[in-house]
Structures are given as C-alpha cells and as structure tokens.
Amino acid sequence: MENMFRLIDNDQEAATNRCIWVNGPVIVGAGPSGLATAACLREQNVPFVVLERADCIASLWQKRTYDRLKLHLPKQFCQLPKMPFPESFPEYPTKRQFIDYLESYASRFDISPKFNECVQTARFDETSGLWRVKTVSDAESTRTEVEYICRWLVVATGENAERVMPEIEGLSEFTGEVVHACDYKSGEKFAGKKVLVVGCGNSGMEVSLDLANHFAKPSMVVRSSVHVMPREIMGKSTFELAMKMLKWFPLWLVDKILLVLCWFVLGNIEKYGLKRPKMGPMELKSAKGKTPVLDIGALEKIRSGKIDVVPGVKRFNGNRVELVNGEELDVDSVVLATGYRSNVPYWLQESEFFAKNGFPKTAIGNSGWKGRTGLYAVGFTRRGLSGASMDAVNIAQDIGSVWKLETKQPTKRSTASHRRCISQQF
C-alpha cells in the first residue's frame, strides 16, 4: 500500500501511475483561467497541480482559432492577474501575441501543467472528505490511468471546452465540405466558393469577413436577434466606454446611450436582416451572459453585398440548402460558427453547484466561483478574461487563507484517512 501513496508538492514527479496525493488544489484546465488561478495560488505559496488534456497551454487559442483572430477587447481588459501585457503590444493583441503572453505568464509563475491528462471523472469522497480525480493519458502510445487525491478542486475548463454541432436535416449528407469554426483557419482555400456560415456571433461575423476578404461568397445565417456594435466609438473602445458609464448611470440608461451611439455610427442595421433584441446589450449580457457582436468590418461587407445575410436553415439536400423562408441556395462549403459549450457534466460527478448545462447555478455575476466541499469554478461567470481573473484572485485568497492558518498549526489531518480512501478503491 505504501508504494501506491506519495505526497506531491508543486512539480515533484509521481512514483506511481495509480494514485497521487496532491498537497494543495488540483486545477483542471491550463487555459487562461487555469493559469490565472495557478499564478494567484503561487503568490499565496499554496502548492498545486494543473491537469491539461492537450499537449500545450491554452489549446483553444493555439489549435482551435482562426489565423486572423485578435482580442475583441482592449488589452487592459484581457490581462491576467499580476502581469500586464507588454507595452509594445497593440491595443488589440493578435492571436500569436496573446499565446506568447500566456507562455511568458506560465514561465514567470513557474506553472508546469501535466499535459495529456484527460480527466475522466471527479467526485467528492464523503468518507475521507477529499476529491478523487481520475485521469487517462494516451501520450506516447502508452495508456496510463492516474487518480489524484486532493482537498480542493478548481474547475477551469471554461465555457468553450466542446464544440456545438447543430442538428440540421440533411447536413450529414451534404456533398460539400463542412467544418466547425474551431477547425477554420483562413478563407484562402475557399476563394471563389459559395460558403454558408451558420451563426452570427463574433465568430460567425469574423469568419464571414475573412471569407469575403479572400474573395469567397459567404452567406451568413442569422436565425435570431443580435446586438451588433462598433468595436470603437469616436476612437474609444465601446466596451471601455460602457464600463465607464456604468460607474455613473444605471444599466438601462447605459443601454439607451449605447444604442443611440450605435445608430449614429452603424445606421439602421435591421434593414440588412440584423434585428436587435428587445433587451439592451449590457442588460442582455448581465442577465443571460449573451455577448454583443463587436463589428470590425463585416457590416461594410454586408452593405456592399459581399456578405449575404439569410434566415435560418430548414434542410440540406445534396449541395443545396433550403432556408426557412423557402429560398434555396447552392453552396460549396459550410462553416458552423455555432459556438461551444462546457464539458463539465461529462466528468464532474456533482449536481449541487453545477447545473446540467455545465455552468455554476449562480454563473451570472460575482457569485459563481465557490461551491461546497472545496469545489471552485473559474471562468464561468460569462464576464470574459477580466471575470476569470477576478475569480482566480478570489479562489486563491479563499484557499490561501485556510492554507496559511493550517500551516501555522500542528497538522490535524493524518494520512490514515487518505489511505482509507485509497484502500477502498484498490
């Protein structure tokens, strides 16, 4: 039994592939949220282990984003705790610059995730009062199963862990190419082709713009209402302007001011098939977590006819698509900009804190970061990178206060309880 149990601090390697006791929290996910939490814990002198299913940090950014991507918000709203972006970076850093920033961040705070560790299950053991996190690694063609035992579990897999694939009649029989936006890199290979872009969020708008810039013929599907706003108003970030106004005015008034400004800058976008929701953009974000689309050039292409806006899809038939208004289109390719979802329900065996949709039940706002029994969530409050950073600071302070208190006192928790927990499994 002694060979199956070993105390692991920060970067110490395990002697066994079967069971590891983590002297601190386990963080699931090495994206910006997980890195921010790890850095804040490092500042609190709390040891941790970061588990990442991919072979790199920020795999969403490195492997599942298109080439032209830039941060949609100014860099000061996207920096992680304890380390601002370099002054040399532009106001809206590119994808490559953001990845470089994250890699520098991990290096600065000595964060070394355990890569290729895919969490299969995580459950709280009532007998021992500890979390049991089981992972599988298929690295180097060798399947390894590991169980991590820990007191605290931080879920940092985020809102965008799994792609959403829509169920559309006939799509599986479509004779052209179908790709999800996470696999789309550039419109270069689509030059001269008729491409149907399903989705009109920030990804759908930007993919459509990229296709038009590469001389493709995109048709963008807009099924529901959407708030489209200019990224900047009078040379200032629209988001920054909204944040400043919220310090002085109620949310409903800020929305009215923003919509008036949008009208002056963008004109009446509804005549192009982009109907605005009845709820204002900031209220919609606050109440439902739905992010407005920040336009960076797609509207100009829509006005000029280089991007067509079409209603919802009814069905596919060969290389033709029938729309809900009865119109039919010939298309060569389809890009599914249909978004992402949380994968938490697939592996976390817990239903009190997390809802069935994979988000904390109090995910909107400031209260969605702490559950019971040492369970935490970072990056699920639908407030972007700044919200994830705030979650990370709160989590590290919460765990750190307990850690510091207990390290000042003689330990009361013996390894016997951990051994009982392990003996039940093995």
Residue at which a domain ends, from 317, 336, 355:
336
pLDDT at 5: 38
Q: Are residues 373 and 274 in the same domain?
A: no
Residue 23 sits in a domain whose CATH number is: 3.50.50.60
Q: Are 330 and 185 contained in the same domain? A: yes
* Token output for 119: 């969490």
Q: Do residues 276 and 349 both lie within one domain?
A: no
Mean pLDDT to the nearest integer, 184-198: 95
pLDDT of 425: 34
Report residue 350's pLDDT band, with 50, 70 and 90 as the boundaries: confident
Residue where a domain stops, chosen among 308, 336, 364: 336
Percent of the chain with pLDDT over 70: 90
For the segment 322-337, the average pLDDT, to the nearest whole number, is 93
The two three-digit tokens of residue 239, written as one number: 């988001």
Tokens of 159: 């809102």
The pLDDT of 79-92, averaged and rounded, is 95
How far is it, in rounded angstroms, from Cα 211 to Cα 204? 11
Asked if residue 318 and residue 386 are part of one domain, the reply reads no
On whether both 148 and 27 belong to a single domain, the answer is: yes
Q: Are residues 67 and 213 in the same domain?
A: no
In the predicted structure, residue 419 carries a pLDDT above the cut 50 = no
> pLDDT tens digit string along 140-179?
667 788 999 999 999 999 888 888 999 999 998 898 999 9
- Residue 54 clears pLDDT 60, i.e. is over it: yes
- H or E element in which residue 124 lies: strand 118-125
Same domain, yes or no, for 280 and 396?
A: no
CA distance 275 to 278: 9
Q: Does residue 25 share a domain with residue 106?
A: yes
Query: How many residues are listed for the chain in this entry?
Result: 426
Q: How confident is the model at residue 388 (pLDDT cuts 50, 70, 90)?
A: very high
**Greater pLDDT, 368 or 40:** 40
Tokens of 221: 């599907």
d(CA 326, CA 309): 15
HSE (side-chain half, CA atoms, 13 Å) at 409? 8
Task: Tell whether pTM > 0.85.
Answer: yes
Strands (E), 5-78: 7-8, 19-22, 26-28, 49-51
| Beta-carbon count within 10 A of 393 CB | 19
Strands 26-28 and 49-51, by their bridges, are parallel
Q: What is the pLDDT of residue 291?
A: 86
The HSE-up count of residue 416 (CA atoms within 13 Å, CB side) is 4
Does 156 lie in the same domain as 70?
Answer: yes
- Domain match, 285 and 350 both: no
What the block records as the tokens of 311 is 């209603």
Angle at 414 between CA 413 and CA 419, to 5 degrees: 125
The pLDDT value recorded for residue 143 is 79
At residue 405, the pLDDT reads: 85
| 381 shares its domain with 293 | no
Q: Which domain holds residue 190?
A: 164-336
Q: Of 336, 351, 378, at which residue does a domain stop?
A: 336
